[in-house]
Amino acid sequence: MSGVFYREPGNDYARIERGEGVYLYDSDGRQYLDGSGGAAVCSVGHGHPAVVDAIKQQVDRCAFAHTLFFTNEPQEQLAEILCSRFGEADARVYFLSGGSEANETAIKLARQYWVAKGQSERTLFISRQQSYHGNTLGALSLSGNPGRRALFGPLLQNWPKISPCYAYRHQAVDETPEDYGLRAATKLQLAIDQHGAGNIAAFVAETVVGATLGVVPPAGAYLRHIRDICDRNDILLILDEVMAGSGRCGTHFAFEQDGIRPDIVTVAKGLAGGYQPLGATIARGYIHKEIVAAHGAFAHGHTYVGHATACAAGVAVADVVDDEGLLANAMAMGELLRRELRSALGSNPWLGDIRGRGLFVGIELVTDRENKTPPPGSLGLPTKLRKKAMQSGLICYPGGGSADGTNGAHIMLAPPLIYTSQHVDELVTRLASVLTDIDAL
């Protein structure tokens, strides 16, 4: 009898024993290939000695000192690294313990910015359907994820949602990705017109939609159009790169590949690679300046803001990403993974789409390829696939509701960025075997 309040109380959980590189081992000695970094977390693999060592050294010096009283060297270093990667020396980084906190912080930062500018009527945040920004009430209010919102709807803010940019399902047959990207972005202008630009604080989107849609990058110049619309209407653009950032897509930030920069970006997961709980909200310099000029300080804070040991892990992970050339590796291994998946799954009748950016890959499953018919949500396919994969020694991240929030199924792959071509082969072989005979599940 366990005292743990489990995620799935009926589940018989394997007990993790150790992790090494791209493999995990449970207490029965079973080996698992990590094909999803949990949920896009383990960027530099398991047991990396440089990260382990950096954490030990920081704990020996001082594990924690409250940031009301002290700053600490790791948060100063990590802020410098992130500002430089973000491309703005004047930017400011607020360190948190995870993605939901980072998005809550982004919401409050945007709100305080507008109040500081004397525009306190701006209370709305526009986001997208089939998105996920976290489980705390503000972040869940942003999230267009019907399953995760269902029980809590009455507690949430009823903020406007526009449709996602989701080429596989919404791009018309006679449209190019460019045409479709423009059409999808126009939905933002329509929502702004409907609610009034002066009432809107920000538009919030995942640069590459992660677990809710199964890794969907923007089509054509979608994000450039979104950036233009935000600028023209004077509303902030907040990009959520909790999954897609920190090198996952082959660049430090995923938005670099779209030729834009947001006003605020949130990162977590791969930032400290799972070695410590760490998130960050990065704001352009003018946001910080406006708030400090009007109010002196940002009206926010948690106990573990700027946690020294978590930031030490973040610095070590950032160094590993640079020293081991993991951005280029993510690009190369991501290409290879998509190519090998296409060839291994090409004749599988359940294969709908393979997509992604860098080492962030989605596979959408359908019951009928021609009509892109989504598997009904009632089938419970994602849970069945996750369990079958684990039995086959593979950690991958299936999800549901891709088609319309209820129906549909996909698998998210987000392996450690240290993958070699042998690991890619092994992942594809194991996954192809999991995906044979889906009808029998």
Q: Using CB under 6 A as the criterion, which residues of the chain lie in contact with ligand PLP when the complex forms?
A: 39, 98-100, 103, 132-134, 206, 210-211, 240, 242-243, 268
From the CB of 274, what's the least distance to ligand PLP, in Å?
11
Q: CA-CA distance, 218 to 1, in Å (whole number)?
A: 47
Residues 6+ apart with CB under 8 A from 9: none
From the CB of 240, what's the least distance to ligand PLP, in Å?
5
Q: CA-CA distance, 298 to 305, in Å (whole number)?
A: 13
Structure-block tokens of residue 130: 């089939």
From the CB of 97, what's the least distance to ligand PLP, in Å?
8
Residue matched to tokens 């939609």? 209
Residue with Cβ nearer ligand PLP (133 or 423): 133
Q: Of all residues in this chain, which one has the CB nearest to ligand PLP in the complex?
A: 99
Structure-block tokens of residue 303: 């106990």
Q: Is 394 helix (H, G, I), strand (E, B) or coil?
A: strand
Nearest to 178 by CA among 228, 244, 231, 225: 225
From the CB of 386, what's the least distance to ligand PLP, in Å?
15
Tallying the residues shown for the chain, one arrives at 441
Residue with Cβ nearer ligand PLP (417 or 424): 417
From the CB of 333, what's the least distance to ligand PLP, in Å?
21
Q: Is 287 helix (H, G, I), strand (E, B) or coil?
A: helix
Q: CA-CA distance, 30 to 366, in Å (whole number)?
A: 31
Q: CA-CA distance, 271 to 242, in Å (whole number)?
A: 8
From the CB of 235, what's the least distance to ligand PLP, in Å?
20
What DSSP string runs through 239-277? EEETTTTTTTTSSSSGGGGGT---SEEEE-GGGTTTSS-
From the CB of 245, what's the least distance to ligand PLP, in Å?
9
Q: CA-CA distance, 61 to 53, in Å (whole number)?
A: 12
Buried b (16+ CB within 10 A) or exposed e, 354-369: bbbbbbbbbbbbbbee
From the CB of 373, what's the least distance to ligand PLP, in Å?
27
Residue with Cβ nearer ligand PLP (100 or 251): 100
Strands 236-241 and 264-267: parallel
Residue with Cβ nearer ligand PLP (226 or 424): 226
Backbone angles phi, psi at 129, to 5 degrees: -65, 160
Amino acid at 415: P
Residue with Cβ nearer ligand PLP (109 or 351): 109
Residue with Cβ nearer ligand PLP (102 or 116): 102
Q: CA-CA distance, 309 to 229, in Å (whole number)?
A: 40
Q: CA-CA distance, 385 to 180, in Å (whole number)?
A: 32
Say which DSSP state 330 is in.
H
Amino acid at 258: D
Residue with Cβ nearer ligand PLP (203 or 350): 203
Residue with Cβ nearer ligand PLP (208 or 428): 208
From the CB of 323, what's the least distance to ligand PLP, in Å?
26
Residue with Cβ nearer ligand PLP (192 or 271): 271
- What torsion do the CA atoms of 154, 157, 159, 163 make, to the nearest 10 degrees? -60
From the CB of 119, what's the least distance to ligand PLP, in Å?
27
From the CB of 247, what's the least distance to ligand PLP, in Å?
15
Residue with Cβ nearer ligand PLP (97 or 367): 97
End-to-end CA gap in the chain: 29
Residue with Cβ nearer ligand PLP (192 or 242): 242
